[in-house]
């Protein structure tokens, strides 16, 4: 390989007892797309934070074009030519594209606009500099983030799970951009759990396991099964078995649900109808931003309807549209929100205290006082049964890797033994082994008679586990489609609002 652009030698980083990176050696070649693969908690994000100057290594050396590199901050990394696009975007919605860019990139507005257009044409990142960010799709927002990085002429661009937020059409467009960037002389470091994507565009892949490098491979020479085996140390798990079942009583019903959000950037829902019975899994397909957030909040009770419209949402046969989340939970409803940091868990609290948030009715509070021993015991069981990799019940939620926190939240809600279980993006950021485990558990619950509603952008996931699928597009819900009689293209047609075809 040509002299590396970036070399890591013996890089280690600990958080307390956790050795997040141990003696990591990696060479990133110039003009390459280099994947970092590994299970949840393997240390991928930590490594990227070290390279971008968010954290400093405890030991080891980084070399940039052969010269030792010490970074005190992300600003220092950017000055050296290292840029990073985070999973959670950092744009101001009420400002325009150019206003957002001007906040971090110096220069005259006219020259900046010309440069935005130039980069857009060169790398397939077309976006209107005068558009307000709230008007843009997720794919377009990501383009703005990438353009903003490119304005500082980076030689290395780091992308942390860039495709997890994108609909399929935008993924292809992003890959086209990354290939053009590579051909234009930029190297890309790319974290993803999607092995097929890695095979499609990466020249090299480094596999991390428990903080250590366990291999460097050319991903094009291995199939997804091979890569999974290297990553998780065993064969790729089988998709969950779905046994035929006779659906039981209706557990959730939405009847003519129409709702206009207060938020001017929200998506109104129009005449949404669905029925979910005990012993079935219903999937809601579609791209976020088409009413998913509003629908989730109306089902969870975070948004309440006026009393006179309460019949539009029914749970276990009762009208609940006017009730809040706690009252709905009392009926046997459990809920995993899409936003695990803002609403699923409180970052600054221990896992045991996070258990209390929703599991308090299971004897974790007695006579109005927290029963800490019970909360700890509940949390230990959740950690053990759901393979949450953490130091224990006292660990703070903020110290868990993204995928492990997701496993904890899903596990906590499953332990409530709900009759009606609703999950939004249940395996977002979860590695392939753990995602299959979650899907298997959902199917097992369905076989036991639980009614399960899943909102997901991952069509494969919905086809794996759902009995029926409905598509949410522009605030309208399609009719119910039997999964076994439906093809992904049928879902795609509803996603773009085209409806059924012969």
Our finding on whether 344 is near ligand ATP (CB under 6 A) is: no
* Beta carbon nearer to ligand ATP, 18 or 414: 18
Q: How many other β-carbons are positioned within 10 Å of the β-carbon of residue 65?
A: 14
- Residues whose CB is less than 8 angstroms from the CB of residue 92 and which lie 6 or more positions away in sequence, other chains included: 99, 100, 103, 133
Structure-block tokens of residue 106: 């110096």
* Beta carbon nearer to ligand ATP, 44 or 304: 44
C-alpha radius of gyration, the chain, whole number: 23
Question: Which of residues 344, 403, 411, 475 is near ligand ATP by CB under 6 A?
Answer: 403
Question: Which of residues 209, 404, 427, 478 is near ligand ATP by CB under 6 A?
Answer: 404
Longest dimension (CA), the chain: 70
The dihedrals phi and psi of 243, each to the nearest 5 degrees, come to -90, 150
- On whether the CB atoms of residues 198 and 36 are closer than 8 A, the answer is no
Residues 37-56, one symbol each (x = binds ligand ATP by CB under 6 A, - = not), give: -x-xxxxxxx----------
- Please provide the distance, in angstroms rounded to a whole number, between the alpha carbons at the two ends of the chain: 52
* Beta carbon nearer to ligand ATP, 14 or 322: 14
Spatial separation of the C-alpha atoms in residues 431 and 280, rounded to whole Å: 25
The residue count for binding ligand ATP (CB under 6 A) is 20
Runs of H (alpha helix) within 162-273: 168-183, 195-201, 224-232
CB of 163 to ligand ATP, least distance (A): 14
CB of 17 to ligand ATP, least distance (A): 9
Containing H/E element for 156?
strand 156-160
Spatial separation of the C-alpha atoms in residues 438 and 444, rounded to whole Å: 10
* Beta carbon nearer to ligand ATP, 207 or 298: 207
Our finding on whether 162 is near ligand ATP (CB under 6 A) is: no
Question: Which of residues 1, 3, 10, 15 is near ligand ATP by CB under 6 A?
Answer: 15
DSSP state of 166: S
Residues 373-402, one symbol each (x = binds ligand ATP by CB under 6 A, - = not), give: ----------------x---------xxxx
CB of 30 to ligand ATP, least distance (A): 25
CB of 94 to ligand ATP, least distance (A): 30
* Beta carbon nearer to ligand ATP, 21 or 292: 21
CB of 342 to ligand ATP, least distance (A): 17
What three-state secondary structure class fits 392?
coil
DSSP state of 3: S
Distances (CA, A) of 411 to 226, 233, 386: 29, 23, 6
* Beta carbon nearer to ligand ATP, 7 or 45: 45
The stretch among 35-43, 318-326, 462-470, 479-487 that binds ligand ATP (CB under 6 A) is 35-43
CB of 391 to ligand ATP, least distance (A): 8
* Beta carbon nearer to ligand ATP, 154 or 402: 402
CB of 420 to ligand ATP, least distance (A): 28
* Beta carbon nearer to ligand ATP, 20 or 409: 20
Distances (CA, A) of 235 to 191, 200, 439: 21, 21, 17
* Beta carbon nearer to ligand ATP, 37 or 251: 37
- On whether the CB atoms of residues 350 and 382 are closer than 8 A, the answer is no
Spatial separation of the C-alpha atoms in residues 409 and 427, rounded to whole Å: 11
* Beta carbon nearer to ligand ATP, 24 or 466: 24
Q: Taken in order 304, 309, 312, 317, is the CA torsion positive or negative?
A: positive
Picking from 107, 90, 196, 184, the residue whose alpha carbon sits closest to that of residue 146 is: 90
Picking from 37, 40, 51, 42, the residue whose alpha carbon sits closest to that of residue 21 is: 42
Spatial separation of the C-alpha atoms in residues 327 and 335, rounded to whole Å: 13
* Beta carbon nearer to ligand ATP, 45 or 312: 45
CB of 244 to ligand ATP, least distance (A): 35
* Burial class for 75, CB neighbours closer than 10 Å (0-12, 13-18, 19+): exposed
Structure-block tokens of residue 469: 């699928």
* Beta carbon nearer to ligand ATP, 140 or 160: 160
CB of 99 to ligand ATP, least distance (A): 31
CB of 407 to ligand ATP, least distance (A): 9
CB of 91 to ligand ATP, least distance (A): 22
* Beta carbon nearer to ligand ATP, 326 or 384: 384
CB of 384 to ligand ATP, least distance (A): 16
Helix, strand counts (H, E) of the chain:
16, 23
Spatial separation of the C-alpha atoms in residues 198 and 36, rounded to whole Å: 9
Spatial separation of the C-alpha atoms in residues 430 and 407, rounded to whole Å: 8
The stretch among 13-21, 62-70, 246-254, 321-329 that binds ligand ATP (CB under 6 A) is 13-21
Question: Which of residues 5, 20, 388, 459 is near ligand ATP by CB under 6 A?
Answer: 20
Our finding on whether 8 is near ligand ATP (CB under 6 A) is: no
CB of 18 to ligand ATP, least distance (A): 5
By the criterion CB under 6 A, which residues form the site for ligand ATP? 15, 18, 20, 38, 40-46, 389, 399-404, 429, 431
């Amino acid at each position: 390989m040509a002299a590396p652009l970036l070399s890591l030698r013996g890089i280690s980083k600990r958080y307390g007892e956790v050795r997040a990176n141990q003696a990591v050696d990696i060479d990133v070649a110039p003009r390459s797309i280099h994947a970092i693969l590994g299970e949840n908690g393997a240390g991928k994000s930590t490594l990227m934070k070290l390279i971008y100057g968010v954290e400093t290594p405890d030991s080891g050396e980084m070399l940039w074009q052969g010269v030792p590199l010490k970074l005190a901050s992300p600003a220092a990394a950017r000055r050296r030519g290292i840029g990073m696009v985070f999973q959670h975007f950092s744009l101001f919605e009420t400002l325009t594209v150019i206003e957002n860019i001007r906040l971090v990139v110096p220069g005259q507005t006219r020259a900046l606009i010309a440069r935005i257009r130039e980069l857009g044409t060169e790398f397939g990142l077309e976006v209107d500099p005068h558009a307000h960010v709230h008007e843009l799709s997720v794919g377009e927002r990501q383009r703005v983030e990438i353009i903003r990085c490119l304005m500082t002429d980076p030689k290395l661009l780091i992308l942390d799970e860039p495709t997890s937020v994108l609909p399929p059409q935008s993924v292809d467009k992003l890959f086209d951009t990354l290939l053009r960037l590579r051909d234009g002389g930029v190297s890309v470091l790319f974290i993803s759990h999607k092995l097929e994507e890695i095979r499609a565009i990466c020249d090299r892949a480094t596999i991390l396991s428990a903080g250590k490098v366990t291999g460097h491979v050319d991903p094009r020479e291995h199939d997804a099964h091979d890569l999974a085996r290297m990553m998780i140390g065993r064969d790729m798990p089988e998709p969950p078995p779905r046994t035929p079942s006779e659906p039981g009583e209706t557990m959730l019903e939405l009847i003519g649900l129409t709702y206009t959000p207060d938020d001017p950037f929200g998506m109104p829902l129009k005449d949404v109808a669905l029925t979910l019975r005990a012993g079935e899994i219903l999937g809601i397909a579609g791209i976020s931003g088409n009413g998913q957030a509003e629908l989730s909040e109306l089902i969870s009770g975070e948004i309440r309807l006026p009393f006179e419209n309460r019949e539009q949402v029914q749970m276990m046969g009762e009208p609940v549209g006017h009730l809040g989340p706690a009252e709905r939970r009392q009926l046997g409803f459990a809920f995993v929100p899409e936003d695990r940091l803002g609403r699923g868990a409180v970052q600054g609290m221990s896992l045991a205290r996070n258990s209390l948030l929703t599991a308090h009715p299971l004897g974790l509070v007695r006579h109005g006082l927290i029963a800490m021993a019970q909360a700890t015991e509940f949390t230990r069981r959740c950690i053990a049964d759901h393979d949450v990799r953490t130091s224990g019940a006292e660990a703070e939620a903020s110290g868990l890797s993204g995928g492990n926190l997701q496993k904890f939240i899903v596990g906590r809600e499953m332990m409530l033994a709900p009759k009606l279980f609703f999950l939004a993006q249940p395996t977002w950021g979860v590695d392939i082994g753990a995602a299959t485990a979650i899907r298997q558990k959902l199917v097992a619950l369905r076989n036991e008679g639980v009614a399960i509603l899943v909102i997901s952008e991952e069509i494969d996931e919905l086809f794996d586990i759902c009995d029926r699928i409905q598509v949410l597009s522009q605030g309208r819900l399609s009719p119910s489609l039997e999964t076994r009689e439906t093809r992904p293209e049928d879902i795609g047609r509803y996603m773009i609002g085209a409806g059924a075809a012969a």
